[in-house]
A = this chain, B = another copy of it.
Amino acid sequence: MAMDAEARPMIKRFNLSWKGPLNPRLPMMLYVGKHKKSVINLITSGECSRFMVDHIGTQPAVLSTHLAIDTLSPDIIINPGTAGGFIKANASVGDVYLGHPQVCYHDRRINLPGFKEYGIGHYPTYQSDIIAEKMNLKTGVVTSGSSLDYTPHDLEIMSSYDGIVKDMEAASVAWVAQLYNIPFIAIKAITDLIDGNSPTEEEFLKNLRLASEMLCEKTFQLVDYLTTGE
C-alpha cells in the first residue's frame, strides 16, 4: 500500500504487528499477522525523509513490490488502495472495485515501433471475474499514472482500454508481480469522481478516510475468501 492513512484501518482489522523496514537501508515498512491459515504481510511504501510525505506513485511501488517478493516469497500480491472513479461508469465515492481484466498505464506514451503497447502494459489480474462475482464487487480496468490529476491525453488513452478506476500504483505492482509470475489482484476504493465538478485533491482529502474504511472491509473479505475459498 502506498499511504500510511490507507493502511491504518487494515493494520487494525488484521491485527498486524509492525516489523520495521523491509530492508534496513530503505523506507518501505512491513507489518505482519495471520488470518486463519494465511500469513499476511502488509507493506507500505514508507515516508520520504526529505519531503516528509508518503512515497506514493509508480516508482516507489516498483521497489516495494520487488522487496516484498524478494524478501517474503508471497503466493499472491494484492494492491489495495484508493482511486478516482468516473460518474459515466456509475461510480460513487466509497465504491470498491476489483481490477478486471487488466491494469494499465495511461501516461507512458512511447510512439516507437513496438513500444506503444509495452508502455500501456496490459497486466492481467488474477481470477478477478470469479472473485468479483462471489464478493459482489464492481469491476473495471484500473489505470495508473504518476500524477494525481490527469490531462485530456491521459483520458483519451484510458478510454482506449476502458480504464475506469484511476490510481497511482497498481500497474507498477502488477508489472513486478508479472516479472516474477506471481498472481496479482488490485482492489480500489473510490475517493473522488474524475468527471465530477470538484477538484480531485479536495475530494481526495475529504473522502480518504471513508474510502480507506470501505477498502479495509472489502480487502478483509477478499483475504478471507482467498484463505478459505468461501
Contacts and interface: CB of A to CB of B under 8 A. Distances in A.
Contacts of A109: 147-149
Contact of A51 (B25, B115, B146, B147): B115
Given A107-B107, A108-B146, A148-B109, A51 B118 contact: yes
Given A115-B51, A146-B146, A151-B153, A110 B179 contact: no
* Chain copies in complex: 2
Given A48-B118, A57-B110, A112-B201, 19 more contacts: A25-B179, A25-B180, A27-B179, A50-B118, A53-B118, A56-B110, A57-B108, A57-B119, A59-B59, A63-B63, A107-B107, A107-B146, A110-B147, A111-B199, A111-B201, A112-B148, A119-B147, A146-B146, A151-B151
A117 to B, nearest CB: 6
Contacts of A111: 148-149, 199-201
A114 to B, nearest CB: 5
Contact of A62 (B52, B62, B105, B118): B62
Contacts of A72: none
A58 interface: yes
A40 to B, nearest CB: 23
Residue of A25, A62, A199, A201 with most partner-chain B CB within 10 A: A62
Interface in A26-83: 26-27, 48, 50-53, 56-60, 62-63, 66
A172 interface: yes
Interface residues of A, number: 44
Contacts of A179: 25-27
A56 B204 CA distance: 31
Residue of A114, A147, A179 with most partner-chain B CB within 10 A: A179
A175 interface: yes
A56 B176 contact: no
Interface of A: 25-27, 48, 50-53, 56-60, 62-63, 66, 105, 107-112, 114-115, 117-119, 146-149, 151, 153, 172, 175-176, 179-180, 199-201, 204-205
A167 to B, nearest CB: 13
A63 B59 CA distance: 9
